[in-house]
Amino acid sequence: MKIVIAVLASVLLTVGAIVGLSVTGIINLSGMFWGESITNSGVEVIKGASKSAELNVPTVEVPMHGMLIPINFSKRQSLLLLDVYLYTPVENEKSLTNDIPKIKNQILKVFSLKPAEYYRDEMFILNLQDDLDYMFKKEKQWQVKEVLVTKAVYQ
């Protein structure tokens, strides 16, 4: 009985979602239920979709190797060695390369203040990459589309 209820709820939810999307105009259901043939075999653009094909923009990688970040905990100092690649649109490469000192300074300010637990976490590299990605999404002037951490050594 529980399985029947779960299947019925799933079907109702799916139908409700389809009807809702149809009412808002996001999808077109004409011809699906009334036996009309669909003559337009082209692709329909979703309303409100971005016209810029941001996914297809060719990017170039800008390396930042050997960044050494001092991390101070009360009486002792630790170090973080980073190798990072920044991916930016081709037309932005020169501008981003010129801003490398500012970028390094921003990374230094952000990561030198993190607590010791941040660096000892088993998800450290994933967290580091996510935090760098967030930092660059926030700083739109650098136009960094992706961040790739290739080395992160904490000592």
- Looking at per-residue pLDDT, the higher value among 14 and 114 belongs to 114
Q: Per the structure block, which two tokens stand in for 108? A: 């230094």
Q: Provide the β-strand partners of residue 62.
A: 86
Parse the chain into domains and list their residue ranges. Answer: 1-49, 54-154
**Residue that has been written with the tokens 């905990």 in this structure:** 73
Alpha carbon of residue 59 to chain centroid: 15
CA-based nearest residue to 98, from 58, 138, 149, 141 = 141
Q: Please give the model's pTM, rounded to 2 decimal places.
A: 0.60
Alpha-carbon span 59 to 63, nearest angstrom: 13
| Residues 82-103, mean pLDDT to the nearest whole number | 93
pLDDT at 19 over 50: yes
In the numeric block, the tokens 């390094």 are attached to 104
Q: What is the pLDDT of residues 131-143, one digit of tens each?
A: 999 999 998 888 9
Q: Does domain 54-154 have CATH number 3.30.479.30?
A: yes
Looking at residue 55, its pLDDT comes to 60
31 phi and psi, to 5 degrees?
90, -15
pLDDT level of residue 9 (50, 70, 90 thresholds)? low
CB atoms within 10 A of CB 136: 21
Decide: 107 and 133 in contact? Cβ < 8 Å. no
